[in-house]
Amino acid sequence: MKTNPCAAIIGAGRTRFTERWEEDPKAMIGMAGMKAFESVDKGIKRNEIEAGFFGSFLYQVTNKIGLVPGYMSRELGLNVPMINTEAACASGGLALHNACLGIESGRYNAILVAGFEKMSDRQDKIIDDLMFAADPYEFEAGYNFPGLYATMMTRYMYEFGNNDSRCSEALAQISAKNHHHCIKNKYAQFKDKGEISVEDVLNSRMIANPIRILHSSPISDGAVALIITKPEIAKKYTDTPIYIMSSQETTDHVSLYTRNKITSVMSTRLAVDQALKETGLTINDIDIAEAHDCFSIEEAFFLEDSGFYDEGKAWKNIYESYESFKGSGHIPYLKNGKELTVNLGGGLKADGHPVGATGIRQAFEVFKQLRKEANENQIDREVNTAMCHNVGGTGGIATVHILARDIQ
């Protein structure tokens, strides 16, 4: 692995993801930000922050926040550069990527990176709003957002499912696994719901055939914040910074129908490839991953697009990994004795998916796991290297970050 990181995370804080009816965005962001500051072991002062990078998707329509930089300036009481990023579900991942560029360029020493979303404020209009993450012609064709992933899932099952019921079961197992992962995560939206079974998923309400409600991430409110610094000054703030070894953003067509293939996500493939090349790693060197499971099929795509499993083979391996698991901890994906544990806090499915916060939440989860601070939800094996994978829309953008604790 290369030894020169892009940036270092020195602190992280978040709210619980849930329907936070009584809080407005600034209360959530304030809470996450405060926790991030308080988590810095050796302390950091607010005026050491030289820039803010924020990810949010629907802030304009949901909360009528039109000028995030000015909004954040007021809330933080700072007059430093504030950069807002909107990239649908990858808004958070892109904010982190842009912040890394800010550090790598040498311009900033310390940056506050945050993501937030207040989806419950839009009630039943959110189903239309989510189509901002798609192409207008897809909206005109009657699609809702789950329907687009359902179209990918239909084609995947057509091309690779061999009419085998285990393919459907495997995609349900992803949801069951992620719910299993969330029950010890105190921040998770479905922490109190408890386990769900594969049968629960397969019998749940059909929202966009073949996608059911329990294949889908929920409507969530929440905020997450990180403080990142130049790697060389990170130890001034903490003895255990988590290093960002690679930060990648790639894009592809916003529209499903113009892509050559809809059974994989090219932007993911490109971003993973670039991140692995930059770090000198292979996918087999990654211990844990936070994958973008907005719908369970997307986690299956990640397993193939990242190269962990071959194209069209993920569902069989998911099925076998799930069926062979004995124990009560995290359920890993298996490949020739190698384990890759994905979505340790429950992922988008069970931890929650306040759209703009998700990419930052992934880094938060990894930060806690790699620092062995995940308490009851701490993975029960030694892990050092992690990948965060955040997708916007149906793959119009992907960000991939590789993070590590010990890099020498």
Partner 1 sequence: MSEPIARRNLLVEYRLRTTKCLNCGNTYFPPKYFCNNEGRSSKMLEVDNFYEKGEFYSGSVINEPTNRFNHLDTFVSAIISFRESKIRIPGRITDYIAPKAIKVEEFVGKKVIPRFRRSYSDGRDGLIHYSSHNFSLEDDYYTHQKYKVTKPTNINGKPGIVGYGVYLPKFRIKNDEPALGVLERSLPFADEDTTTFAVESGKRAIIHSAINNNEVRKCFVGSESSPYAVKPSMATVIQVLELGEKMNGGFFSGGIDSQFACKAATDLIIDAAGLVAYPVFKGKYVMVIGADNSQASPGDRLDYTVGAGGVALIFGRDDVIATLDHYLPYTSDTPDFYRREGEKYPRHGGRFTGQPAYFKHVVTSMKTLMKNTGLKNNDINHVAIHSPNAKFPVQAAQEAGFEKKQFETGLVVKKIGNLYSGSTLAALSAILDIAKPGERILMTSYGSGSGSESYIFTVTNQIEEKRKQTISVKEQVENPKKEYVDYHTYRKWKDIFYH
**123 part of the interface to partner 1, by CB under 8 A:** no
Q: Which is nearer to partner 1, 122 or 236 (CB)?
A: 122
Strands (E), 6-131: 7-14, 51-55, 82-85, 110-118
* Binding-residue total with partner 1 (CB under 8 A): 37
Q: Which of 97, 353, 389, 401 is catalytic?
A: 353
Q: Which is nearer to partner 1, 209 or 284 (CB)?
A: 209
* 29 in Cβ contact with 65 (< 8 Å): no
Q: How many CB atoms lie within 10 A of CB 125?
A: 12
Q: Which of 23, 139, 240, 320 binds partner 1 (CB under 8 A)?
A: 139
Interactions with partner 1, residue window 173-212 (CB under 8 A): 205-211
Q: Which of 63, 85, 98, 151 binds partner 1 (CB under 8 A)?
A: 151
**27 part of the interface to partner 1, by CB under 8 A:** no
Interactions with partner 1, residue window 55-94 (CB under 8 A): none
- The arrangement of strands across the sheet holding 397-404 comes to 82-85, 51-55, 110-118, 221-229, 7-14, 242-251, 397-404, 385-392, 288-290, 338-342, 332-335
Smallest CA-to-CA distance from 165 within 196, 214, 195, 199 is with 199
Q: Which of 31, 94, 152, 170 binds partner 1 (CB under 8 A)?
A: 152
**155 part of the interface to partner 1, by CB under 8 A:** yes
Q: Which is nearer to partner 1, 206 or 233 (CB)?
A: 206
The mark string for 230-259 relative to partner 1 (x by CB under 8 A, - otherwise) is: -------------------------xxxx-
**25 part of the interface to partner 1, by CB under 8 A:** no
Q: Which of 22, 124, 376, 382 binds partner 1 (CB under 8 A)?
A: 124
Q: Which stretch binds partner 1 (CB under 8 A): 18-26, 140-148, 181-189, 229-237?
A: 140-148
Gap between the Cα atoms of 109 and 233, Å rounded? 8
* 133 in Cβ contact with 33 (< 8 Å): no
Q: How many CB atoms lie within 10 A of CB 138?
A: 22
Q: Which stretch binds partner 1 (CB under 8 A): 129-137, 235-243, 281-289, 304-312?
A: 129-137
| Six token digits for residue 285 | 């060197």
**125 part of the interface to partner 1, by CB under 8 A:** yes
Q: Is 353 a catalytic residue?
A: yes
Q: Which of 22, 140, 239, 376 binds partner 1 (CB under 8 A)?
A: 140
Find the helix or strand (DSSP H, E) in which 172 lies: helix 165-182
Q: How many CB atoms lie within 10 A of CB 235?
A: 15
**376 part of the interface to partner 1, by CB under 8 A:** no
SS3 of residue 371 by DSSP: coil
Q: Which is nearer to partner 1, 147 or 346 (CB)?
A: 147
**Residue 22: burial class (beta carbons within 10 Å; 0-12, 13-18, 19+):** exposed
Q: Which of 61, 101, 127, 334 binds partner 1 (CB under 8 A)?
A: 127
Gap between the Cα atoms of 386 and 242, Å rounded? 10
Q: How many CB atoms lie within 10 A of CB 54?
A: 29
Q: Which stretch binds partner 1 (CB under 8 A): 149-157, 237-245, 278-286, 309-317?
A: 149-157
Q: How far is CA 236 from CA 8, 110, 260, in A?
A: 11, 12, 49
Q: Which of 117, 121, 135, 252 binds partner 1 (CB under 8 A)?
A: 135
Q: Closest separation between CB of residue 145 and partner 1, Å?
A: 9
**150 part of the interface to partner 1, by CB under 8 A:** yes
| Six token digits for residue 383 | 């892990």
Q: Closest separation between CB of residue 55 and partner 1, Å?
A: 24
Q: How far is CA 202 from CA 70, 109, 145, 152, 163, in A?
A: 46, 49, 20, 18, 16
**295 part of the interface to partner 1, by CB under 8 A:** no
In whole angstroms, what separates CA 271 from the centre of its chain? 14
Q: Which of 54, 108, 143, 308 binds partner 1 (CB under 8 A)?
A: 143
Q: Is 89 a catalytic residue?
A: yes
* CA dihedral sign of residues 367, 370, 371, 372: positive
Q: Which of 138, 169, 304, 305 binds partner 1 (CB under 8 A)?
A: 138
**144 part of the interface to partner 1, by CB under 8 A:** yes
By annotation, the residues acting in catalysis are 89, 353
- Binding residues (CB under 8 A) for partner 1: these are 124-125, 127-128, 131, 135, 137-144, 146-148, 150-152, 154-155, 157-158, 161, 205-211, 255-258, 262
